[in-house]
Amino acid sequence: MAVDAFDFTGKTVLVTGGSRGLGRAMTIGFAERGADVVIVSRKLDACEAVAAEVRALGRRALPVAAHVGKWDDLDALVDAAYGAFGRVDVLINNAGLSPLAPSMIEVSEALFDKVVEVNFKGPFRLAVLVGARMAAGDGGSIINVSSIGSLMPSPYFGPYAGAKSALNAVSIALAREYAPKVRVNVICPGGFLTDVAADWQDDADALNGVMLGRFARPDEILSTAFYLASPASSFTTGALIRVDGGCLTVK
C-alpha cells in the first residue's frame, strides 16, 4: 500500500502569522492532514478562533499571542510550544509586515525598524531557537516564507524587499548551521488573494506581469508547504521555491 508522504499525524507544526491569510491556510491544511499546531499572532482572540477550527478537526492546538519581532516573546513562545507538545517538527516563519511610505525618502526610521524586525530579525531568532532544539533532537523542517518582492525589488516596498532578501540569505546560513538533521528552505509567494490583497487584486496592470494571468487562492500555497515539511523533500535544503504564477514584474 502506498504511503501518504503528506500525512503529518503525530507531528507538531508551528505557524507564525497563523490566524489569517496564508498562515491560516497552512494551519488548517496541516491540521487536516493530521498535525497538531501552534498558532501564533499578536492577537490571542484571532489565534483562539483558528484553534477552535483545528480542534473541530480532531487535532490539538495551542494559540499563542506573540510579537515575532520581540525576542523575549519568542523565548516564551518556544517554551510554551515545547511545554505543550514536547517537540516542534515543522516551523513555518510566515508572519510578515509590509507598511508603505509615499517615497523612499519618506521612509522613517521607525517604519524601517518595524519592517526589519518582523520580516527578518524575528524569523531569524525563532529559526535559531527552534532549529537548535531540532538539531539536538529528532531533526525537522524550517520553512521561511519570503516574497517574490525579495527577488524583484521595487521602490514601492524597498525596505520590505530588503528584509525579505535578508531572510533568503540567512536561510542558507541556517541550512548549513543545522544540517544534516534540519532542513531549511524558503517559499517566495507572489500575489495571493488573502485579506491584505484589497489594494491590488483588481489591478489589471499587475496581472499583465503574471504568466498564468491570475492571482492565487490561499490554498495554492499548501502543496509546496507540505512538500518542504515532509520526507518527500528529504534531499532539499537551502532552496528557494517561487510560488508566483510565473511573475515577470512587480510594480
Catalytic residue numbers?
A: 160
Are the beta carbons of 26 and 225 closer than 8 angstroms? Answer: yes
Query: For cell 490571542, what's the residue?
Result: 44
Quote the CA–CA distance of 31 and 7 in Å, as a whole number. 10
Are the beta carbons of 139 and 132 closer than 8 angstroms? Answer: no
230 DSSP assignment: S
* Nearest alpha carbon to residue 87 among 147, 3, 24, 10: 10
Cell numbers of 201, please? 487584486
Strand partners, 183: 141
Neighbours of 92 (CB within 10 A): 29
Neighbours of 53 (CB within 10 A): 15
Question: Residue 44 burial by CB count (10 A; 0-12/13-18/19+): exposed, middle or buried?
Answer: middle
Helix and strand counts by DSSP (H, E) for the chain: 8, 7
Quote the CA–CA distance of 132 and 139 in Å, as a whole number. 9
